[in-house]
Amino acid sequence: MTDLLSEPNLNSALNAEYLAARRQAFTCIDELVDTTVKTLLRWSSINSGTRNLDGLNAMARELEQQFTPISDQFNALPLPDVEALTDGGEVIQNRHGKMLSFKKRADAPLQVLLLGHMDTVFEQTHAFQQPVWLDNNTLNGPGVADMKGGLLVIYLALKAFELHPLSPKLGWHVAINPDEETGSLASRFLIAEFAQKAHLGLVYEPALADGTLAGDRKGSGNFSLRVRGKSAHAGREFHLGKNAIAALCEIFYRLQQLNSEENSGITLNLGRVSGGGAVNIVPDTAVGHFNVRCENIDQQGFIQSQINKIIDDINSRQGFDVQLFGGFNREPKVANTKTLKLRQWLSEIGSELDIPVNFKPTGGCCDGNNLNAAGLANIDTLGVRGGNIHTDQEFILIDSLAERAKLSFLLLEKFAVNYEEYLKLS
């Protein structure tokens, strides 16, 4: 047994017992697909927009029922409120759902963190609320790919892995947050804490429809600006007014200039503005929201200093007060030795299953960025194959549920066999 475990090559390490375990696991996954699809249909019809606390609670109950039978330990952890700026310039506290944590074998030599989110971008007021079959293999519905389908891939893979004779070698922690779609602002501290206690991370964001996974990722920050000036009647005392909209326009114009060739790799998107009222009044408040993406930490530092400089300029003028809210919440994800090892293993497993495994860099962010920032190597698109996420055309390719569950099962098996080699990597 010991010899087999220290053998780095899974194929030569596989004895009849492991092959039988694989067969049993794959049968288990295949047999569970029908039930899993029914569960997905039910979950998709539960609205769990990040701000819908009742919907998130309903999803949390579903997830508790799904995962507790295979876990040793379950916790629903409250998350802090997070400050936000409304379009009217008011500072509010956003409330959040709970973070769910399911653990198995917390004392096993290798600890794997499997991360998912239960929230979707579709709020209760959105028209898109129910799943619809487009054909035998394509289901259109809120969250079917991003990532309620992915949560079910986690379940299937773990359910099968628990049948494996090597399961005692590996402990797992399934963590499911309720605020990923708004940047994990409330759950990021717990994510970082969980990352410290794990050796590697698996995140279940959807892969592209053709199975391509995300490689390196840009970092991201959401910012809001509130400009206060002074109102005055546009006819009688225009000269006494301090126009907040004009000041915001100037700030936004200068921010837009940061999108330039010399700042290649950085994007700054001016996303939304509001302010003012009657046109015969000089407006005293204007609010602007923008998003910044960077390839590396140095760029983040550079952009932050440019933003501060522009704001300081306006603040130095009499009668204006500009306040900045938000900031960078996701660091760029750049692969290290361990990440590359994980990608290599996944590619090897893909070849065994005849599933092409390719990685492509992306400007999009997810909790894989957060895990990476906390020092935890991870692969973050292990969920289902699908597409058009964040739109009412979102779809999942149903055959990918079993396919991706098998991929994850074999990955867990690979970890259980090779964990000593992995732990030695720096």
What phi-psi label fits residue 275: left (phi over 0), alpha (psi between -120 and 50 degrees) or beta?
Answer: left
Note whether 142 and 129 are within 8 A (CB): yes
Of 144-152, 251-259, 273-281, 330-338, which segment contacts Zn ion by CB under 5 A?
144-152
CB of residue 147 to Zn ion, shortest distance in Å = 5
Query: Cα(126)–Cα(31) distance, rounded to whole angstroms?
Result: 35
Between the two ends of the chain, the Cα-to-Cα distance in Å is 26
Note whether 99 and 176 are within 8 A (CB): yes
Q: Which is nearer to Zn ion, 294 or 389 (CB)?
A: 389
Q: Which is nearer to Zn ion, 164 or 333 (CB)?
A: 333
CB of residue 390 to Zn ion, shortest distance in Å = 9
Note whether 120 and 49 are within 8 A (CB): yes
147 binds Zn ion (CB under 5 A): yes
CB of residue 203 to Zn ion, shortest distance in Å = 9
Q: Which residue, judged by CB position, is nearest to Zn ion in the bound state?
A: 146
Q: Which is nearer to Zn ion, 357 or 382 (CB)?
A: 382
CB of residue 106 to Zn ion, shortest distance in Å = 26
118 binds Zn ion (CB under 5 A): no
CB of residue 411 to Zn ion, shortest distance in Å = 19
CB of residue 314 to Zn ion, shortest distance in Å = 36
Degrees, nearest 5: CA angle 274-275-277: 130
146 binds Zn ion (CB under 5 A): yes
For residue 153, give Cα distances in angstroms to 41, 284, 379, 384: 14, 51, 14, 7
Q: Which is nearer to Zn ion, 48 or 300 (CB)?
A: 48
CB of residue 212 to Zn ion, shortest distance in Å = 16
Q: Which is nearer to Zn ion, 331 or 367 (CB)?
A: 367
Q: Which is nearer to Zn ion, 10 or 396 (CB)?
A: 396
Residue 265's identity, in one-letter code, is: G
Q: How many residues sit close enough to Zn ion to count as binding (CB under 5 A)?
A: 3
Q: Which is nearer to Zn ion, 67 or 204 (CB)?
A: 204
For residue 347, give Cα distances in angstroms to 148, 160, 204, 232, 356: 24, 21, 17, 65, 7
Note whether 165 and 22 are within 8 A (CB): no
CB of residue 360 to Zn ion, shortest distance in Å = 17
What phi-psi label fits residue 360: left (phi over 0), alpha (psi between -120 and 50 degrees) or beta?
Answer: beta
Q: Which is nearer to Zn ion, 147 or 213 (CB)?
A: 147
Q: Which is nearer to Zn ion, 198 or 384 (CB)?
A: 384
Of 65-73, 138-146, 191-199, 414-422, which segment contacts Zn ion by CB under 5 A?
138-146
- Residue 383: half-sphere exposure toward Cβ, Cα within 13 Å: 30
Alpha helices (H) along 129-216:
149-161, 188-196
Residues 402-421 touching Zn ion, rule: CB under 5 A, are: none
CB of residue 34 to Zn ion, shortest distance in Å = 25
Of 4-12, 147-155, 285-293, 402-410, which segment contacts Zn ion by CB under 5 A?
147-155
384 binds Zn ion (CB under 5 A): no
Of 129-137, 202-210, 295-303, 348-356, which segment contacts Zn ion by CB under 5 A?
202-210
Which residue is listed with tokens 């697909």? 33
> Which residues have C-beta within 8 Å of that of residue 194, sequence separation ≥ 6?
101, 113, 115, 173, 175
> Which residues have C-beta within 8 Å of that of residue 151, sequence separation ≥ 6?
43, 63, 66, 116, 118, 176, 204
DSSP per-residue letters across 66-95 = HHGGG-SEEEEE----EEEE-TTS-EEEE-
CB of residue 359 to Zn ion, shortest distance in Å = 18
Q: Which is nearer to Zn ion, 183 or 326 (CB)?
A: 183
Q: What is the binding site for Zn ion (CB under 5 A)?
A: 146-147, 205
